[in-house]
Amino acid sequence: MGDGGANEFQQPVIEVRNGATLSNCIIGAKEGFKAADGVHCEGSCTLKNVWHEKVGEDAVTFLGTNPKNVYIIEGGGAINANGKVVQFNGAGTAKINNFYVCNF
C-alpha cells in the first residue's frame, strides 16, 4: 500500500471522517513490507489508543479546512518512524495527550 517513504499525498490506511472517533487500533506492516501512510483525519476527530508499529510518510495527518476543527489524540503511540509522526495540514486546533513515540 505504501512505499515506506516520506512522499506527500500517499493513500492512508484509514480515513477518519469529520466528527468520528477511531479507538483501540494497531496499524502495522507485515514483516518484510514497508509501512504505509497511517491515519488521515478529514475534519474534527478523536484518535484514542491508536498505535502505529511502523510509520511511512507519517502516522497521523490532520486535513480539515474549518478553523473550528478540533483534532484529539489521546494515548497510543508510534514506533519506527523515519521522519515526522504527526502532520498538521489542516485548520483548527490539535490536542495531543499521552502519545508515545520511540525510534524515530
Tens digit of each residue's pLDDT, the chain (104 residues): 555 555 566 789 999 999 999 999 999 877 887 778 899 999 999 999 999 998 888 999 999 999 999 999 999 999 988 878 999 998 999 999 999 999 87
CA distance linking residue 88 with residue 17, whole number of Å: 16
Q: Quote the cell numbers at residue 40.
A: 488521515
DSSP 56-99: SS-SEEE----TT-EEEEES-EEESBSS-SEEE-SSSEEEEES-
Whole-prediction pTM: 0.88
Q: Which CATH number fits domain 12-102: 3.40.630.30, 1.10.10.60, 2.160.20.10, 3.40.50.720?
A: 2.160.20.10
